[in-house]
Amino acid sequence: MKQSGREWYNRFNEYLIEKGFENNEICPCIFNKKTTSGFDVVVVYVDDLNLVGTPKELIKIIASLKDEFDMKDLQKKIFYLGLQIEHLLNGKFIHQSTYKEKVLKYFYMDNVHPLSIPMVVRSLNAKKTIFYH
């Protein structure tokens, strides 16, 4: 039983490789696949899978995984590894409001008066950031 998790991962890894996914060399829990119609990214965390990709490709991989493995689709994530994910019409908003409230409460600071702190917002596109040279 100690090796059951490793055996499951090996089986899952082989299946995704057969389906054309590439395993990330640096982080073996990430698999990605690019096609002419889009992309898929599968992230494995213990026995949970998180799927990201273009809608058409996601439908294909979800159906394929359900055919091969006994799995339950939990739909869109709201919490993942301490992050809160809000699904908006124009994208995703990722924050840690719940964690922040928990830390403030732990240190008896949940009733303090908040102040605004200026923050630089960076784009994921390196050429659009103010730091790009």
Query: For residue 14, is pLDDT > 90?
Result: yes
pLDDT digits (tens, 9 = 90+) for 44-63: 887 788 888 888 888 888 88
Which of 49-53, 73-77, 79-83 has the highest mean predicted lDDT (pLDDT)? 49-53
pLDDT confidence of residue 122:
59
Query: For residue 39, is pLDDT > 70?
Result: yes
pLDDT digits (tens, 9 = 90+) for 105-131: 999 988 888 777 776 665 566 565 544
Q: What mean pLDDT is reported for the chain?
A: 81
Q: Which residues pair with 31 in a beta bridge?
A: 23, 42
pLDDT confidence of residue 133:
44
What is the percentage of the chain residues whose pLDDT exceeds 90? 10
